[in-house]
A and B are shown apart, each in its own frame.
Chain A
Amino acid sequence: MESLIHPVLLLAMCALGAVGVCLALPRRGLTPQVVGAAVAGLAAGVVVLALTLKNPEHRPNVYFYIFAAVALGSAVRVITHPKPVYAALYFILTIIASAGLYLVLSAEFMAFALIIVYAGAILITYLFVIMLASQSASEETDKGEQEYDISAREPIAASVVGFLLLATLTAFAFRGASELPGSVSATSGLTKHPLSVGVVERETAILADMPRRVEQELRRAGLLKDGDKVVVSEDGAADVDLAGGTIGVVRASGGTERVAIPAGFMPKNVESVGFNLLRDHPGSIEIAGVVLLMAMLGAVVLSRKQVELDEELKKQQAHRLAGEPGEGGAA
Chain B
Amino acid sequence: MMWLLAQAGHPVAMHEATLAHYLFVAAAMFVIGVIGFLTRRNLIVMFLCTELMFLAAGIAAIAFGRFWLDYTGQSLVIFVVTVAAAEAAMALALVVLLFRKRETLSAEAWQELKG
Contacts and interface: CB of A to CB of B under 8 A. Distances in A.
Given A94-B52, A176-B16, A264 B85 contact: no
A272 interface: yes
A288 interface: yes
Contact of A161 (B38, B77, B94, B108): B38
B9 A200 contact: no
Where chain A touches its partner, the secondary structure class is helix
A196 B2 contact: yes
Interface in B55-97: 55, 58-59, 62-63, 65-75, 77-79, 81-90, 92-97
Nearest to B104: A137
Where chain B touches its partner, the secondary structure class is helix
Interface in A154-204: 154-155, 157-159, 161-163, 165-166, 169-170, 173-174, 176-178, 187, 190-191, 193, 195-197, 199-200, 203
B90 A302 contact: yes
Contact of A281 (B20, B75, B86): B75
Contacts of B21: 48, 51-52, 59-60, 64, 68
Nearest to B19: A177
A154 B38 CA distance: 8
Given A44-B28, A91-B52, A114-B58, A292 B86 contact: yes
A45 to B, nearest CB: 11
Interface string A130-162: 101110110000000011110111110111011
A55 to B, nearest CB: 4
Nearest to B84: A122
How many interface residues does chain B have, given as a range? 35 or more
Interface residues of A, number: 114
A47 B96 CA distance: 41
B84 to A, nearest CB: 6
A200 B5 contact: yes
Contact of B24 (A98, A117, A173): A173
Given A17-B28, A110-B74, A166-B28, 20 more contacts: A58-B17, A91-B51, A101-B25, A101-B59, A105-B66, A107-B62, A126-B48, A133-B95, A137-B104, A146-B42, A146-B106, A148-B41, A187-B16, A193-B13, A199-B1, A199-B5, A242-B4, A291-B83, A295-B85, A299-B92
